[in-house]
Structure 1
Amino acid sequence: MKPTSTNTITVETTVNAPIEKVWDYWTNPEHITKWTFASDDWHAPYADNDLRTGGKFKTTMAAKDGSFSFDFGGVYSEVTEHRVIAYGMEDGRKVIILFEADGDTTKVTETFDPETTNPVEMQRGGWQAILNNFKKYTEAN
């Protein structure tokens, strides 16, 4: 499955951790709630993940001051352990995440269809900030 837009956005990072740990921290709700936010004034108070093709996931992202929250979720179209996670969001946009292991490091690349409300650079910055938070959390724990 590939994103549907020709104007996809890609963000990536290399995590200093082996693929087994990266996969666990990316997919386990216990860890998802610890990194799925772009800034320190937000948090993820809830995560549920049925990691299989056809399975659903949902993560609640919320401002710590209680002023705003939303659920981010979708349905998996492909799950290949330690390699690929692809899903569709409720609005029809597609996302694919590639995991590339190289010993004790793992490259994570996310490519997604942009939404039409916010500028592309804002979307890229937000998704990259969350990915950077994932790297920081995974390497520190």
Structure 2
Amino acid sequence: MSDLSNRTLTIEKTFNAPVQLVWDAWTQSEHILKWWAPNGMDLKVIEHDFKVGGKWKYTMQMPDGTEFISEGAYTEIVELEKIVTSADFKPMTENVELQAYFEAVGEKTKFTFNVVHATPEYCKQQEEMGFYNGWGSAFERLVKHLEVLVK
């Protein structure tokens, strides 16, 4: 097993919302629908069983009509602190681990998002395929969604 640091892509953000709201946005289907997909794409929640061992599955319609499937199973949940899940984003990314960390900082939330890949080569390939643009776009949608909730 190679060193985690060369197999992990990380995005850190501070959300202008309390940790409970950010947590809810990650863990409740009605919120996930509003931000999980990149800009301009609609998401359908097929399955969302938020518990350790529970599975999740979302689909997005691509502009060319094909379906993009995101799915995984939760492996670790620490209320208001951490979510770890396996993840496949077919057809582009398979067999990765998502780690979402939440830290209350007053009325804001420090958020760290890691995606751990099987090999350094696969990690680099995913980065070059647009990892930061794709997730960055989804997290911008999350920022906007949280702004509406905070008001």
Asked if these proteins are the same fold (TM beyond 0.5), I'd say yes
Q: Which residue of 2 aligns with 1:75?
A: 73
1:132 aligns with 2:132: no
Pairs within 5 Å for 1:7-26: 7-26=7-26
Pairs within 5 Å for 1:78-89: 78-89=76-87
Report Cα offsets for 1:76-123 as digits up to 9, x if no partner. 110001000001124331111100111211122110035849551411
1:120 aligns with 2:108: no
C-alpha distance in structure 2 between counterparts of 1:48 and 1:27, whole Å: 12
- Normalized against structure 1, the TM-score is what? 0.84
In structure 1, give the amino acid aligned to 2:72: G
1:59 aligns with 2:58: yes
Cα contact 1:48–1:57 (8 A) shared by 2: yes
C-alpha distance in structure 2 between counterparts of 1:128 and 1:29, whole Å: 20
Q: Which has the higher helix share?
A: 2
Based on CA coordinates, which of the two structures has the bigger radius of gyration? Answer: 2
Residues 25 and 47 of structure 1: is their aligned pair in 2 closer, same or farther, counting only changes over 3 Å? farther
C-alpha distance in structure 1 between counterparts of 2:140 and 2:46, whole Å: 19
C-alpha distance in structure 2 between counterparts of 1:44 and 1:66, whole Å: 15
Q: Which moved more, 1:71-80 or 1:83-92?
A: 83-92
Percent identity for Structure 1 against Structure 2: 31
Report Cα offsets for 1:50-88 as digits up to 9, x if no partner. 11111111111223x562322201011100010000011
